[in-house]
Amino acid sequence: MNASLAPYPMVLTVNTVEDWARRYVESQDLAHKLDPGGPPREWAEQPEVLRLTGPGRPAELDVQARSQRSLRPSQLLDPRRRAQLIHTFLHHELQAAELMCWALLAFPETDRSFRRGLLGICLDEIRHMQMYRAYLIERGFEYGSFPVRDWFWERTSTCANALEFVSLMGMGLEGGNLDHAARYGKAFATAGDEEAAELQRVVASEEIPHVRFATKWFREWSGGLDFDRWADSLVGPLTPALFRGRELDLASRREAGFTDEFLARLAESR
């Protein structure tokens, strides 16, 4: 690519995984966000700590500072509202993909196997974006048809270390999503949208290993899966109750590595 035409002013050449990750976060090109191509095989020999402060946002996306009210399941009888919800999920996937790259760059002191895991999850999230986008396109919508909010970024990019990152992103946001996906999957099915219901089932099953990745590293770094230690590792004003559905999807959560003791504490957190 001619450097003068490159839409990525910060990284002009991509030789390493770290370059690829940085370009992905900083890109303002929607096509690149949806399909950045495969990462290089090479990793930087001596990567430095790089804490990116925010993502590049394509002009097509209407990023708002405040979120709209979340949709009630009864509203999902309206196909436009279903598309809007899938659009919200798509934007969650983008933020997750970007934040995996963010962590890979912010915590170069971690094991390579941890950072390799982040990269693999990032690629899963990009695939999930593509699945959600295909649903939207089939129904006459596009990525950008509805406003979005960068809530995951606002919180996650304040994590000081990798333990805080897996606590918030993997065990918190992705863990909570196991509950939400089960609920929304049922709501889509009730609304007669079997395709959206199936999308939720597929994505939810593929999110279980992401959460398991987080619980595995949390144990490794903190010596166990202690609920209070997890609660203490959540940044800012965030509390455990934010990261659960009304009902816990116990089967998925157990498969993701949570213990019954941990889940009992989570279930009673308000």
- Judge whether 32 and 24 are in contact, CB under 8 Å: yes
Site for Fe ion in 228-257 (CB under 5 A): none
Among 125, 150, 164, 179, binds Fe ion (CB under 5 A): 125
- Please tell me the distance from the alpha carbon of residue 216 to that of residue 258, in angstroms, as a whole number: 10
DSSP states of 224-254? S--HHHHHHHS-TT--GGGG--SS--HHHHH
Q: Does 128 bind Fe ion (CB under 5 A)?
A: yes
- Reading the block at residue 183, the tokens are 């609920």
**Total interface residues for Fe ion by CB under 5 A:** 6
Q: Which of 11, 211 has the CB closer to Fe ion? A: 211
CB atoms within 10 A of CB 237: 7
Among 174, 179, 193, 249, binds Fe ion (CB under 5 A): 174
Residue 63 per-residue DSSP state: B
**Based on C-alpha coordinates, what's the Rg of the chain?**
18
Q: Which of 98, 125 has the CB closer to Fe ion? A: 125
Q: Which of 100, 248 has the CB closer to Fe ion? A: 100
- Rounded to 10 degrees, the C-alpha dihedral 116/121/125/130 comes to 70
Task: Mark the segment that binds Fe ion (CB under 5 A) among 7-15, 18-26, 89-97, 193-201.
Answer: 89-97
Task: Mark the segment that binds Fe ion (CB under 5 A) among 101-109, 126-134, 183-191, 237-245.
Answer: 126-134
- Reading the block at residue 127, the tokens are 């695939």
For residue 132, the one-letter residue type is: Y
Q: Which of 27, 177 has the CB closer to Fe ion? A: 177
Q: Does 164 bind Fe ion (CB under 5 A)?
A: no
CB of residue 78 vs Fe ion: minimum separation in angstroms?
Answer: 25
Q: Which of 11, 90 has the CB closer to Fe ion? A: 90
Q: Which of 91, 128 has the CB closer to Fe ion? A: 128
Distances (CA, A) of 269 to 30, 128, 190, 228, 231: 39, 30, 29, 11, 10
In SS3 terms, 10-66 reads as CCCCCCCHHHHHHHHHHCCCHHHHHCCCCCCCCCCCCCCCCCCCCCCCCCCCCECCC
Query: From residue 185 to residue 214, what is the string marking binding to Fe ion with x (rule CB under 5 A)?
Result: ----------------------x--x----
CB of residue 45 vs Fe ion: minimum separation in angstroms?
Answer: 29
- Judge whether 235 and 164 are in contact, CB under 8 Å: yes
Q: Which of 32, 212 has the CB closer to Fe ion? A: 212
Query: From residue 38 to residue 77, what is the string marking binding to Fe ion with x (rule CB under 5 A)?
Result: ----------------------------------------
CB of residue 15 vs Fe ion: minimum separation in angstroms?
Answer: 27
Distances (CA, A) of 231 to 2, 60, 254: 48, 37, 18
Give the residues lining the site for Fe ion (CB under 5 A): 93, 125, 128, 174, 207, 210
